[in-house]
Structure 1
Amino acid sequence: MTHDLRVPWEEDPGDLYEHAPCGYLTMLPDGTIVKVNETFLAWTGYARAELIGQRRFRDLLSAGDKIYYETHYAPLLSMQNDVHELAFDLIRADGERLPILVNSVLGRDDAGLPRVIRTTILNATERRGYEKELLAARRAAEASERRVRVLQQIVADLAAAPTAAEAADAIVRAPGPAFGAASATVWLAQADRDQLAAVAGTDSAALTDAPVPRDSSRAIAEVARRGDLHVIGSLAEAEQHFPELADTMRRTARAAVVLLPLTAASADDPGAAEVLGVLGFDFATPRELTDSELRVVRLLGHQAGQALDRARLYDDARRREERATFLADTTRALEVLPRLMPRARTLVERMVPRVARWAAVRLQVGPAGLLAEAGEPAPEPHRLADRVAEVLLSGQAQLTDDKEPDGGCAVLPLVANGRVFGTLALRPPLGRRTATAEVAFLRDLADRAALALENARLYEQERAIARTLQRSLLAGDLPADPRFAVETHYQAAAQDLEVGGDWFDAFLITPDKLAVVVGDVVGRGIDAATTMGQLRSAIRALASAEAGPARLLERLDRFVERVESARMATVAYAEIDLAANEMTYACAGHLPPLLAEPGESPRYLLDARSGAIGSRAGRQARIEDRIHLPSGSRLLLYTDGLIERRNRRIDAGFELLARTYAGKRDSPLPGLTASLADMLVGPEHADDVCLLCLSLGTERRLERTIGADPVQIALLRKDLRGWLVAHGVDDESTQAVLLASSEAVANSIEHGYRADPLGVVEIVATVSPEAIQVRVADTGVWIAPNARGARGRGLQLIRQVMDDVTFDHDDGTTVTMRRLRRGARE
C-alpha cells in the first residue's frame, strides 16, 4: 500500500524564502547586501531599500563585532569557504541589540574567485536566555565548589595550626566565605571541662563574655553536652527554646544562628565523640541552610575537632609543623615576587617576630651591595661586621652563643652554585636557645632563601637584557618641528621576560609630510622583535610622497611573502600633510585611531579598515581615508594591550579609553601617553603597551589644567616652550614667560593647595604681535600669604621679568602676567 505524502497545496518557493523561520542574506564578496528575506527585515526593523546595495553586513554589527568580523569571520570564510554558528550582536534599526548566530557559504566562480556569500541568520535571543539559566546553575555549582575550597583551605590551615588558639582562629574564618555568615565565634572547653570560653571571633565584643558553665541552660552549653548541631532559624524559635540567645539576637540584629559542636574521638572510648568546643555563627538576614551546606557544616565541625585534638596532644609535633609551614609559606611568598630586593625585604619581614627579634639579609650584588633589615635595632655594628666577614670568607655559619645574656646573633651563609653571595643574620627571641632542631631549621631557611634570592637575581639580569634589546629595536629620535609634537610611551609586559612585537615610529617623508605608525607583530620573543624591526624599516623604505597609506599597505602585503613571520601583523599608518593640515590613514587589522579635535569629544576613526598584513581576508584592495585636522587636534595610536582584557568586552575598553582621553583634553602633551597607560593598565599588566600621540598645528590659545603636583611643572614648561617657539616668540621673551609661569604655578601649588593634593591649576596663554599674556588661576585657600598674595621672592622675580602683573583674590587666586615681545620693546 502506497501513502501519498504530498501536501494538499502547492508550496510557493518565493514565499518559503521570504517567510522562512530564519533570515537569509545574499552578499557580494565585499559584504554588500544584494538580497534579503522578509524574516530578516522583520527581526531587524529595516526596510529592504535601506539594505539592498546600501549597506554591508559588517555595517549592521556593533563596534566590537566589526573587529571580530575582520579578524575571524572574513579570514575563516576566505580559507574554508564556510563558517558555522558564529555569534554576533546585530544593531537593529531602533538601535537595540539582537543576538544572532551566523552561518555563511562562500560561492566561487569557475576561476576560483569569490563570487557570492550566502548567509543564514538565526535569532539567538532564546538561546541567550538559556545560556543565562545555565550560567545561574553554574554559579550555584561554583558557590558549592567555593565552599569546598574554603573548607579545604581551612583544613590546610588547621593542619598547620600549632596551638588550640590558632586552630580556633582558623575555624572562625570559615563561616563568612563559606556560608555568608555575618559573624562567628569559637568557644573551647577549658582544661577542667567544666566551662567553655570564647577564644576567637570576628566580633571582638563576643570575646568579652564570661565563660559558660557546661551545665547551664544556655544554648552553647546544650550543644556541648549533647554534641548535636543546632540551627535556630528565627527569633521566635530562639525565644521558645533559648531565651538568652533570643536576647543576643535582638541586641545584635541577627536573624538566624548556627551552633556547631567541634568533636573528636574520645580518648577513653574511641567509639564515642568528645566535644572539644563549639563554633557559633549567625546571619543578618533570614537564612535556611541546604542539605549540602549542612553536610559541609558537619564536616567542618569534625575536621575542626580533630585539629583541636591534635593541638592539645602533640605540642612537639606542632612546633615542627609550625616550622615546616613557615618554610613553605615563606617559599611561596618569595616565589610570587620576581624582584630581588622585594624578596629580601619580604624574607626579613616574615622572620620578625615569628623567628627572630631582628633579621637582616646582606647581598654582594653591585659595587655597594644590598641590605634588607627588619626588627629591633641591630646588634653592635663592629661585632656584626666581623661575623659577616668571617662567614663570607669561610662559608660556615656563625651560630648564637648561649652564654651571651641576650642570646647573641646568628649569621648564616647564602650559597648558590657553590658561591657565597650574601648572609642571613638574625637575633632569636629571648629565652630561645639554638637547639639541634632549631639549627636545622635555620640552615634549611638559609638554603631556601639563597635559592629564591639567586633566582630573583638571575631574573633581574635576564629582564634587563630583554628590556635593553626591546628598546634598542624601537624608534630612536623622533622628528622635531614647530608645526607638530609627538609623545610616545612603551610599557613592556610586567610578568614576561620575552621581548614583544609592539612598536611605534614617526618620520618625515618630505619636509611637509609626516608619517606616524603603530603596529603589532604576532607572537613574542626574539623572532617577533626581529620581525618588528624589519617591518618598521620596510615602512620607512616604502613610504614616499606619491604612494599614500593604501599603496604602502599593498606593498607590505608583498613584503610579507618574503618575510613569513610578518604575516598577520597589524598596522595603523597615517600621513599628515603639514601644509594643508590633512591626514590620510589606513588600518590593516589594527585598532582604530582615536582623534580629539579642539572643542569636540574624541571619536574613533572607523573607516579605511582592512585585514591584517598578508591575511588576504575580506577586501583585497587596501583602502585609505582622508580627513581635515584643525590646528590643536590630537591623534592617538595604540596597541591592544591598552584596552583589551579577558574579563570584559572590547566595547567597554573602547569606551573607557575615549572617556579617559577626553578627561586629559587639557593636559600637557609631555607625559600624556605615560599617564594614559598608568590609568588604564597599571603595573601588573600581562601584555605590551605601545602609544603614540600626535599634536598637530599650533594652538592659537594655549589652555592647560594640571594637578597640584610640583612634578607637573616640568611637563608644563616643556609644553609651553614648544607653543611659544611655534608662534615665533623670541628666545629672551620665551625664557622670561617660562620663568614667570613656573613661579606662578609653584605659588598656587605651595600656598593654595598645601592641604589639598587633589587641587588643579588652570593656565591660559595667548600671543599677539605685541605681547604674550599668561593667566594662572587656582581655587585654593592660600595659607599665610604675604600682603601681595605670593611669596615675596617669587613675586619680585615675576615682576622683574614681566612687564605687567596683576592679582585677583575673589575666588582663589588668579595671576595675570603680560610680557612685550622684542619688536614692541624697541
Structure 2
Amino acid sequence: MGDDAVRSEMTQELRLPWEEDPEELYEHAPCGYLTTLPDGTIVRVNQTLLTWTGHQRSALVGRRRFRDLLTADSRNDHETRYAPLLAMQGDVREVAFDIVCADGRELPTLVNSVVSRDAGGLPRVIRTTIFDATERRGYEQELLAARRAAEASERRVGVLQQIVAELAAAPTEAEVAEAVLRAPGPAFGALDASIWLVDPDGDRLVVVASTGPAPPGGEQVPRSSSRPVAQVARRGDLHVIGSVREAAEHFPELAETMRRTGRSTVVLLPLTAGPGPDADPPDVLGVLAFGFVEQRTLSGSELRVVRLLGHQAGQALDRARLYDATRRREARAVFLAETTRALEELPRLLPRARRLVERIVPEVAGWAEVRLRVGPAGVVAEAGAPAPDPRWLTERVAAVTTSGDPEYATGAPDTDGGGTGPQRDCTVLPLTVRGRVLGTLALRPASGQRLAGTGFLRELADRAALSLENARLYEQERTIARSLQRSLLAGDLPADSRYTLETYYQAAGQDLEVGGDWFDAFRITGDKLGVVVGDVVGRGIDAATTMGQLRSAIRALASAEAGPARLLERLDRFVERVESARMTTVAYAEINLATSEMTYACAGHQPPLLAEPGSAPRYLLDGRSGPLGSRAARVERVEHRIRLSAGSRLLLYTDGLIERRDRPLDAGFEVLARAYARCRDAPLPGLAARLADLLVGRDHGDDVCLLCLAMGTEERLERSIGADPMQIALLRKDLRGWLAAHAVDADSSEAVLLACSEAVANAIEHGYRDDPFGMVRVVASVAGSAVEVRVADRGTWRQTREEDVRGRGLRLMRQVMDEVVIARGEGTTITMRRGRRGQP
C-alpha cells in the first residue's frame, strides 16, 4: 500500500464523530485565555479564567488592564521584567504572576504572552495564555521548606559538632558552661540563654553564666523550689513553655519576666549524665534555659538535637567536675600542708592563731575568727568581711564549745529567692585536741561564694587545733622554763647610795630550754660589794642546775679576806666534784665602797667594759685566766685592782651579747664599745635593756646577761635622751637617785623632777615635732644651797608667743622653781634653779 493510502486511512480513523466548536474550545479550554490591547486593556477573556478568579466578564472587558489583576509584587515584575521583554522579543514564556481573585484570594499562575502585529508590523493585540500554578507553587514551597529544614538541621548539627568539640576540650565547669551557652543562638535562633548548675551538695541551683537579663529570684534557688528550673532539675525532663499565657497559668514569676524581656517561648533543658539522654532516672547536673522572641513549636528533629545537646553537656560537666574535684583535692592538700608549715614557723600561740586567719582569708573564706578557751580569753584573731551578727555568733560558739559538734553553713536562702541570713552561711568548727575543745574556728564565705566541703573544713580545723595546742604547750613549757631560769638568778639586789645596779636577762629567742647564763650581786661586808656574771657550758636543766650551784658556791666562798683570785681557785676545786661545771666562764669583781677600789678576775670570760666620766669606754684586760676546771688554766689565778672614779659605769656581760657567726669576735667587741659610748650619757635605768636591743634584738639564738654598776655620786648629772616620751620616766628615776645622793630635801626634789620632766616633754613635743631622732641634753648640779637644771635641745620651735609655745608647762615650771630662764639660739635652752629647803 502506498504512503498516500496509509495517510488517508489514518485520517479517517482519527476523525471524531462530531465536529469541535472552536468557540467552545476557547471558552472552556484547560487554561485561561486573555486578549489585551498593546496598552494592556482586556478585550477578551475566556470562561476558564473567569471561573478561576471569580471575576465577571463585564467587569473586565474594556474596563480593566491585565496588570490591574496582579498583586503588588507581580505588578512590579510586570513593569520591570514582563513588559520590557514582551516589547523586545514579541513573546514571553512561563512568567510567574499572582492574580488577585474577586474574593481577595491570590492565584499563583504561569503566563505565556505573544504580540500579534498588523501588516505594517505594528502591535495589534497581545494574546496571553494563563496556567494555574497552585499545585506547582505548593510543591515548590514544600521543596523550599524541606531545603530550609535540611539547611537548619545541617546548621544545628554543625553547631552541635562544634560545641561537642569544645566540650571535649573544656577541662572545667566554667569552660563547659561557656561552651554550652553559645549553642542555643546559632543552633535554634534563641534570643538569650543561661546555665544553672546543681551545686556539689545537690541542694541548690546556681547561675554560673548568662547572656540575658538576671534570672527572676536571684542567681540561686533551692532544688526543692517550685520554680520551673528546679522542677526540671528534679525530674530530669525537657520542658518547653510555649507562651506567656501558659507560663502565667503555672509560673507567674516566669511569666512576668517573659513579658518584661519580650520572650514568647522558653525552653528548659536538663543537662544529664549517664548512659544516654533517656536514662531513667537521669543524673541532672544542671539546666540550660533559653528563650525566643517569637512563639515557637520545636520540631521533632529540633527536640532530638536539644536532648542530645543536654546529654553531651551533662557528660562534659560530669567529666569537668571529676577534673575540678581532683584539682580541688590537690589544691586543698597543698593548702593544708603549706598552712601547717606556715604555722610551725611561729612557736607562739597568738602569732599562730593570727597566721591561721591570714591563711584562711581569702583563700578559704571571706571572714574568719579564732577564739580560744585557754591562754588569752576571747577572740584572738579575726580578719575579713562580712562578719556575722556578734550576738548570734557568741551563742553558737558557746554551743559548739560545749557540745564539741560543728555547725556548718547551710548556704540555703531564708526564702525562695531571698537573701541569706547572718547565721545561715556561717560555719563554726570546734578546735578539738585529745577530746578537749581548745577553742573555735568560725568561717563565713565572701559575698557570692560558698565555703568548701565539710570534709576539708574538718581536716583544716583538726590541723589548726593540733598546731595551736602545740603552741600552747610550747608557751606553757617556755613559761615554766623561764620561771625556773629566773628563780635561779639573783632576786632582790642590794641597794646603797654609793652605787647603782642595773641588770638585764634575755632568754634565747627560739629555745625552750633554760640556760646557764647568770648574774648576781651581793654584799660581802658592809663596805664590800661582790658582782658576778657567768656562763655554764650547755643548755637545759643540767646547765641551769649547775648555774644555781655555782651561784650559791660563789656566795658561800666569797669573804672579806679571800679576794677574786682566791675565790676562783676554790671554784676550781669545787668543779672537780661537779663535772657539768667544767669550762664555765666567770667574771667576778669585788668593790670596796669606802675606797672605791675594785679587784676583779676573769676565768675565761669576756673582759668587763668600763666607762669613766670624760673618757672613752675601755676593756679591762688584766686579771685573766682559763675557764673553771680547765686543764689549760694557769696553776694560780690572778686578779687586778683599779680605782673607780665617781660616775664610772662598769658593764659585765655574757658572750650572747657580742658573738655572731657572721663576724669575727673582735668586731663584736668593737660594736659593743661604740654602742656603750653612745649610751654613756643615757640614764642608767633601762641602759642594759637598750644595749641588748641595739646589739641583739628579740630573736637571738643565745641567752644574754648584763650587769651594769654605776659607781659613786656624780658631781654633775649629765644625761642625753632621745626624742621619745618613754625615756622621760627613765630620766626621772636616774635624776631622783642623784638628788637623793646629794641630800636634796624631798620637796625640792619633787619640784626639780616635775620641772625637768615638763621641760623635756616640751622639747620633745615642740622642738622635735618633725625630728624623731633629736636629742635632749639635761645637766643637773648642786651649787651651794641651790639645785640647777639645764634642759637644751637643737630643735625648731614654733614662732608664736612664749605663752602659747610653752603653754601650761612653762607656768608650772615657774610655779615650782625659783627661777626659770629661756634662751634661744640654735635650739632652746631652759635653765631652772631652786633653793634647798629644810632638812633632807
Q: Does 1:349 align with 2:366?
A: no
Distance 2:783 2:392 in 1: 72
Does residue 335 of the first structure (1) align with residue 350 of the second (2)?
no
1:666-701 deviations in Å (ceiling 9; x for gaps): 101000000000111111111110000111111111
Shift of 1:784: 6.9
| Alpha-carbon separation, structure 2, partners of 1:530 and 1:718 | 35
Q: CA deviation at 1:706?
A: 0.4
- Cα 1:593–1:403 shift into 2, 3 Å: same
Aligned to 2:750: 735
Corresponding position of 2:432: 415
Equivalent residue for 1:493, pick from 494, 508, 512: 508
- Alignment partner for residue 446 of structure 2, among 429, 432, 438? 429
Deviation track 1:333-370 (CA, whole Å, cap 9, x = no partner) reads 10011111111111111111111111111111258434
Could you tell me which amino acid in structure 2 is paired with residue 494 of structure 1? Answer: G
Aligned to 2:620: 605
Q: Which whole-Å deviations, capped at 9, do the CAs of 1:396-417 have from their partners, x for residues lacking one? A: 2211112133471111111001
Shift of 1:382: 2.4
Aligned to 2:741: 726
Letter aligned with residue 332 of structure 2: R
1:774 — aligned with what?
789
Letter in 2 for 1:345: R
Question: How far apart, CA to CA, are the structure 2 residues paired with 1:774 and 1:425?
Answer: 59
Q: CA deviation at 1:386?
A: 2.7
Q: Do 1:364 and 1:370's aligned partners in 2 also have CA atoms closer than 8 Å?
A: no
The answer to whether residue 705 in structure 2 is matched with residue 690 in structure 1 is yes
**Cα offset, 1:785, TM superposition:** 5.4
Kept after mapping to 1: 8 A contact 2:427/2:443: yes
Say what the alpha-carbon RMSD is for the aligned residues. Answer: 2.2
**Is the 2:365–2:451 Cα contact (8 Å) retained in structure 1?**
no
Cα deviation digits, residues 165-219 of structure 1 (max 9, x gap): xxxxxxxxxxxxxxxxxxxxxxxxxxxxxxxxxxxxxxxxxxxxxxxxxxxxxxx
- Deviation of residue 385 (structure 1)? 2.3
Q: Match of 1:764? A: 779
CA contact (8 A) 2:533 2:588 kept: yes
Superposition map of 1:293-304 within 5 A: none
**2:341 is the counterpart of 1:324:** no
Aligned to 2:649: 634
Q: CA deviation digits over 1:130-168, x for unaligned, max 9?
A: xxxxxxxxxxxxxxxxxxxxxxxxxxxxxxxx99xxxxx
| Number of the residue aligned with 1:805 | 820
Structure (1 or 2) with the larger CA radius of gyration: 2
Secondary structure, counterpart of 1:653 in structure 2: helix
Q: 1:317 to 1:440 in 2, by over 3 A?
A: same
Distance 1:503-1:618 versus aligned 2 partners, 3 A rule = closer
What is the distance in 2 between the residues matched to 1:804 and 1:564?
66
SS in 1 for 2:642: strand
Is structure 2 residue 696 aligned with structure 1 residue 681?
A: yes
The one-letter code of the counterpart of 2:529 is L
2:582 to 567, 589, 601: 567
- Residue matched to 2:464: 449
Which ranges of structure 1 fall in alignment gaps of 5 or more residues? 1-161, 164-310
Kept after mapping to 1: 8 A contact 2:502/2:684: yes
How far does residue 585 in structure 1 lie from its aligned partner after superposition? 0.6
Is 1:362 equivalent to 2:371 in the alignment?
yes
Q: Give the CA deviation at 1:790.
A: 4.6
In 1, Cα distance between equivalents of 2:411 and 2:836: 81
- Give the match for residue 540 of structure 2: 525
Report the residue type matching 1:591 in the other structure: Q
2:404 alignment counterpart: 395
The superposition leaves residues 227-264 of structure 1 with CA deviations (integer Å, 9 ceiling, x where unpaired) of xxxxxxxxxxxxxxxxxxxxxxxxxxxxxxxxxxxxxx
Find the aligned partners of 1:795 and 1:431 in 2 and give their Cα distance.
Answer: 61
Task: Pick the aligned partner of 1:385 from 370, 389, 394.
Answer: 394
> Structure 2 length normalisation: TM-score?
0.59
Is the Cα–Cα contact under 8 Å of residues 371 and 377 in structure 2 kept in the other structure? no
Aligned AA (1:740): A
DSSP-derived class of the 2:683 partner: coil
Which string of whole-angstrom CA distances, capped at 9 and with x for unpartnered residues, describes residues 360-390 of structure 1?
1111125843431100141112222232222
How far apart are the structure 2 equivalents of 1:694 and 1:723? 15
The code of the aligned residue for 2:425 comes to G
Runs of 4+ in 1 over 6 A off after TM superposition: none
After TM superposition, list the pairs within 5 Å mapping 1:610-625 onto structure 2.
Answer: 610-625=625-640
Paired residues for 1:241-320 under 5 Å:
315-320=324-329
Q: Does 1:550 align with 2:565?
A: yes
Partner of 1:655: 670
Question: Does structure 2 retain, via aligned residues, the 8 Å contact 1:786–1:792?
Answer: no
2:606 alignment partner, SS class:
coil
- Secondary structure in 2 matching 1:538: helix
Matches of 2:606 and 2:392 in 1, distance apart? 63
Alpha carbons of 1:823 and 1:386: their partners in 2 closer, same or farther (altered >3 Å)?
A: closer
Aligned in 2, Cα 1:618/1:363: closer, same or farther, shift over 3 Å?
closer
Within-5 A mapping of 1:58-69: none
- Alignment-mate amino acid for residue 318 of structure 1: R
1:372 matched residue in structure 2: 381
Aligned-partner SS, 2:784:
coil
Given the superposition, is the C-alpha separation of residues 667 and 713 from structure 1 closer, same or farther in structure 2, using an over 3 Å criterion? Answer: same
Structure 1 position 515, deviation (Å) = 1.2
Q: In 2, are the aligned partners of 1:502 and 1:689 still within 8 Å (CA)?
A: yes
Q: Partners in 2 of 1:315 and 1:549 — Cα distance? A: 76
Matched positions, count:
515
User: CA 1:505–1:323 in structure 2 vs 1: closer, same or farther (change >3 Å)?
Assistant: same
Could you tell me how far apart the structure 1 residues matched to 2:516 and 2:376 are? 35
**Deviation per residue, 1:296-336 (Å, 9 max, x gap):** xxxxxxxxxxxxxxx99955433322211111111111001
Identity %: 73
Asked if 2 retains the 8 angstrom alpha-carbon contact of 1:751 and 1:785, the reply is no
Residue 511, structure 1, aligned to residue 526, structure 2: yes
SS in 2 for 1:501: strand
Q: Distance in 2 between matches of 1:672 and 1:443?
A: 51
Residue number in structure 1 paired with 2:835: 820
Seen in structure 2, the aligned counterparts of structure 1 residues 814 and 575 have a Cα distance that, compared at 3 Å, is same
Judge conservation of contact 1:590–1:612 (CA < 8 Å) in 2. yes
In the alignment, is residue 754 of structure 1 matched against residue 732 of structure 2? no
Contact 1:479 1:507 in 2 (8 A): yes
Report the Cα offset of residue 564 of structure 1: 2.5
Q: 1:495–1:685: 8 Å Cα contact kept in structure 2?
A: yes
CA distance in 1, matches of 2:461, 2:412: 24
* Matching residue's letter, 2:438: F
Amino acid at match of 2:598: M
**Which deviates further from its counterpart, 512-521 or 562-571?**
562-571
User: Normalising to structure 1: TM-score of the pair?
Assistant: 0.60
CA contact (8 A) 2:385 2:446 kept: no
Higher RCO (Cα < 8 Å, 6 or more apart): 1
**Which of 586, 590, 596 is residue 601 of structure 2 equivalent to?**
586
Residue aligned with 1:620, SS: coil
**Counterparts of 2:662 and 2:550 in 1: how far apart (Å)?**
31
- 1:644 matched to 2:653? The reply is no
Equivalent residue number for residue 706 of structure 1 = 721
2:666 match: secondary structure: helix
CA distance in 2: counterparts of 1:614 and 1:526, whole angstroms: 20
* Whole-Å separation in 1 of the counterparts to 2:804 and 2:652: 43
Contact 1:595 1:602 in 2 (8 A): yes
